[in-house]
Amino acid sequence: MASASAPRDAPPVVGIGIVGYGMMGKAHCYGYTLAPHVRPLACRPRLCVISGRNRAAVAQAARSYGVKRAVGDWRALVEAPEVEIVDICTPPGTHAEIVAAAAVAGKAVICEKPLAADYADARRAVDAVNAAGVPNAIGFNYRRLPAVSLMKQMIDEGRIGEPRLWRGTWLSDEFLDPEIPFDWRFRRTLGASTIADLGAHLIDLAGWMVGEVVAVAAQSKTYVSARRDPKSGASAEVDVEDASAALLRFRSGAVGVLETAKIAPCRPCDFVVEVNGTDGTLRFDYARLNELWYGDVRDSSHLYGMRRLRAEHASHPETAGWWPIGQGIGYGASFVNQAADLLQGWPHGKWTPDLAAGLEVQAVCTAIEQAAREERWLEVADVIANATV
């Protein structure tokens, strides 16, 4: 409800609660703060509450991010009457419980990816929001980068013909140093697999652009199997893989290759997506995130090769309200666009991608994990059918 001092024509306020104050909590707060500056919205987002177990750290985060107050328990955030949207930015293994509690409380839910650490919890999260009938969305923010969104648009327009080959790689050096101490990232039940952590974004883009993944084969490897627990000083077992690679089959007949790794030296956060069709190729490289590379076999032979498109023009998707072409749109813009896209139709507009999209991605991640363990091809539908929920 708008305050008494607000102009009569001011949009109503919607209260946001951010569960988690780390990097993703910061990114989501940034998104809500900037969204009204780039788009006209149906409401005004207000950062009401942020939660975290470390009271001193979450209090500092609240001051830094512009959140009205901080609490130590996420349950207090969910119960706060001023919070209408619960935005979950905690480790994946905690997501399902928070989603369910928020849904029961009648709050809209936005959840960071992956939806959960395993398929069963992801299924429970989707069941909870469906039963409550609350708006819900999954944080696949890279869809909101102009170059990535333009890539999807061009595929839908038939610019490369029928997609035949898809490939995606995501390389980082996050786990490279064997002296990094043990924490939640190395426990699969809390931090999820590397396939789910990094691969979730790529699998989402693959499904969004090319269609449903129906079968997978994979391999995974953990090179540092134990790390020092900083609390006890003892050695703690690592059950998260350092690197994985997968082969994908799409329902359309297209095939794909996926690679994820957290031990690639000097690769901080590098991902590439390429689609080859019957008539052309599209390629996106995150290291040059305002560019999209495009080749069309229907061009004159004098123009053979790939051309660079500057995905910053006002005619391109997800550029509305941003800078003139040539000024660049960065990582943070994906969260601003995400917040703006979701809030433009509040409270009745359809949110996309929703948690059901996150569940579809989780199914593929689970299939890849199982295929790597069993060293064989698996049908995604069989993995879903055999899942215990």
Q: pLDDT tens, 10-54?
A: 789 999 999 999 999 999 999 999 999 999 999 999 999 999 999
Sequence ranges of the domains in the chain: 13-141, 143-328+361-368
Residue 184 has pLDDT above 50, yes or no: yes
Say which residue the tokens 């509690």 belong to.
101
CA 320 – CA 343 distance, rounded (Å): 15
Mean pLDDT of the chain: 96
pLDDT confidence of 5, banded at 50, 70, 90? low
pLDDT, one tens digit per residue, over 230-242 is 999 999 999 999 9
Same fold flag, 13-141 and 143-328+361-368:
no
Percent composition of the chain: helix, strand, coil (DSSP 3-state, to 5): 35, 25, 40
pTM for the predicted model, two decimal places: 0.95
The rounded distance, in Å, linking the Cα atoms of 67 and 84 is 15
Question: Does the pLDDT at position 318 exceed 80?
Answer: yes
pLDDT of residue 2: 43
- Confidence (pLDDT) at 10: 79
- Confidence check: pLDDT of 4 > 70: no
**CA-CA distance, 320 to 254, in Å (whole number)?**
33
Residue 15, beta-bridge partner list:
46
Please state, in angstroms and rounded to a whole number, the distance separating the CA atoms of residues 245 and 337: 31
The pLDDT of residue 8 is 65
Q: How many CB atoms lie within 10 A of CB 250?
A: 19
Picking from 305, 266, 298, the residue whose alpha carbon sits closest to that of residue 283 is 305
pLDDT surpassing 70 at residue 64: yes
Residue 122 has a pLDDT of 98
Tens of pLDDT, residues 201-224: 999 999 999 999 999 999 999 999
Give pLDDT, residue 9. Answer: 73
What is the rounded radius of gyration, in angstroms, for the C-alpha atoms of the chain? 21
pLDDT of residue 387: 83
Predicted local distance difference test score (pLDDT) of residue 1: 42
Residue 363 has a pLDDT of 98
Say if residue 257's pLDDT is above 70. yes
Residue 3's pLDDT is 47
Closest of 309, 318, 272, 306 to residue 291, by C-alpha: 309
Write down the residue that tokens 């449903």 correspond to: 212
% of residues, the chain, pLDDT over 90: 95
Q: Is the pLDDT of residue 359 over 80?
A: yes
Percent of the chain past pLDDT 70, that is, above it, reads 98
d(CA 282, CA 277): 9
Contact 366, 387 (CB under 8 A): yes
CB atoms within 10 A of CB 181: 12
The third-level CATH classification (topology) of the domain covering 143-328+361-368 is: Dihydrodipicolinate Reductase; domain 2 (3.30.360)
* 111-142 pLDDT, tens digit each: 999 999 999 999 999 999 999 999 999 999 99
- Name the band, by pLDDT with cuts 50, 70 and 90, for residue 6: low
* Cβ pair 309, 317 in contact under 8 A: no
DSSP state of 304: -
CATH of segment(s) 13-141: 3.40.50.720
